[in-house]
């Protein structure tokens, strides 16, 4: 059974970049390389414990970020990002790239709180890197596969 799981995960990872197109404008393969800057703080691991990228634990697990409310994952977030999520901030390419450009400034803008803070101090400066890392995160997440399955079921 474990061999089947590993094989299925491997096939999903190979196919995933093709599915990212509808959810991301960047290049998932290039984003995989950019994610090396992120993995000192962030890991990517699914709910079953399969590690996609072993990383640090000072930031939240980024698996399944597409469509997730900000500050809602199993992690000890700061008050500002939790507030943003409670007020409706959901991660998509636009919100993600806005956040990684300048996390503190972004939270101030979306919450309307001049005292808003972010625990994340790292910033991505290049738009292409932002789009590419987002495409990579989407490509290894569960939402793309679920969307593709739903579309296939409605066509048949």
> What's the confidence (pLDDT) of residue 146?
55
- Alpha carbons 68 and 96: distance in angstroms, whole number: 11
Q: Is 54 helix (H, G, I), strand (E, B) or coil?
A: coil
Which pLDDT value is given to residue 11?
Answer: 35
Write out pLDDT tens, residues 58-113. Answer: 999 999 999 999 999 999 999 999 999 999 999 999 999 999 999 999 999 999 99
Per-residue pLDDT at 23? 64
Give tens-digit pLDDT for 122-133: 999 999 999 999
CATH number at residue 72: 1.10.760.10
Token reading at 51? 């590690």
> Which pLDDT does position 145 carry in this prediction?
52
Q: Check whether 4 has a pLDDT greater than 50.
A: no
The domain containing residue 76 runs over which residues? 2-155
> Does the pLDDT of residue 137 top 70, yes or no?
yes
- Location of structure tokens 């990579």: 136
What span, in angstroms and rounded, lies between the C-alpha atoms of 147 and 153? Answer: 10
Query: Rounded distance, CA 133 to CA 99, Å?
Result: 13
Q: How many domains does the chain have?
A: 1
The beta strand positions in 22-153, using DSSP E, are 44-45, 51-53
Position 98 scores a pLDDT of 96
C-alpha of 86 from chain center? 18
| Rounded average pLDDT over 15-34 | 70
Q: What is the pTM of this model?
A: 0.77
């Amino acid at each position: 059974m474990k061999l089947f799981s590993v094989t299925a995960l491997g096939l999903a990872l190979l196919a995933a970049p093709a599915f990212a197109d509808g959810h991301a404008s960047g290049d998932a393969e290039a984003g995989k390389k950019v994610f090396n800057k992120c993995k000192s703080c962030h890991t990517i691991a699914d709910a079953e414990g399969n590690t996609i990228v072993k990383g640090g634990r000072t930031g939240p697990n980024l698996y399944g970020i597409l469509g997730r409310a900000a500050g809602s994952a199993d992690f000890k977030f700061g008050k500002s990002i939790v507030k943003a999520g409670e007020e409706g901030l959901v991660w998509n390419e636009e919100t993600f790239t806005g956040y990684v450009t300048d996390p503190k400034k972004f939270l101030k803008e979306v919450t309307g709180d001049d005292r808003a803070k972010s625990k994340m101090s790292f910033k991505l400066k290049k738009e292409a890197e932002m789009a590419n890392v987002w495409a990579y995160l989407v490509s290894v997440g569960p939402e793309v596969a679920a969307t593709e399955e739903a579309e296939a079921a409605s066509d048949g």
